[in-house]
Structure 1
């Protein structure tokens, strides 16, 4: 967890704000381990969200991984976040038959957090085959929440509590090339 340690007013020197540009401030954050980092945000955003020195900074810690399956015609993205108490899994499938040619997506929300974390730990340790097997077993008894939807519909179906994390993962999910791997990052939320 990050806490606001200091807030510095923006210095614009000789340069003035551009039309429509809002004043920004530099915010110094510190975590429980004493690590520091700085971010720049609009001053108005801090005020609108009642953030001041000592406030907890709205950051989501996101872990996600990509598993390629079914002879490379399908990819699964599995994600967990410290701000949501359930994982999310999204699959992208390429169908190559006349009436349904193209890319389709499915959204799963029925896998438990323990299994999701276990799968991500395997991916983090480059145990891709074991991660793929565990995911396959985990999904064997559940169907997707929504299935065979387009990228636009998928964007609308993502639960609100996953919105900021989804925007971070969206490129990996919707890119046409499979990009297997594991990622872990902190994301600043857009709304509180």
Structure 2
């Protein structure tokens, strides 16, 4: 935010329970905060009202692009095109959403013959391309991959959550122990690799 010359509107993609972004700071710094997700619980909206965050604009929207892909499987979806219609947009934050699109759509494609088999990588790529096409800066926060390790450090399971899609260079990467030893099993832990990527930043 400190690099922005203007702070009028910010859009948060995958806002969910408002735990993955500093929502109070965004509310103080921007005139308008647009929050996009499949749903926002009544408790989240109530919390915003109780904290008098009148500049929060809750929007229900499927950000994956799966319906566009289902309707026109031969055309690359553009699920983020709507962002171009937001007035005075100075920043977009994609918050821990991209890997969920990949995993969720992969499960859907396995059970739904109306979706192409490459639905996951195509929709991941569409999300990244949508952020790149914006005229304002964006910040992509996402899990890139995960490993399940036993106590000796041996990798029991590994997966690329980006499904082979190449991401822009990351500013920071770190390991996040999603499930430490004892949470799922006393014998193994699950560790995700997370990236913070600035796109179109000056």
- TM-score after normalising by structure 1: 0.22
Higher strand share: 1
**Structure number with bigger Rg:** 1
TM-score by length of 2: 0.22
Which structure ranks higher in relative contact order (CA pairs < 8 Å, sequence separation ≥ 6)?
1
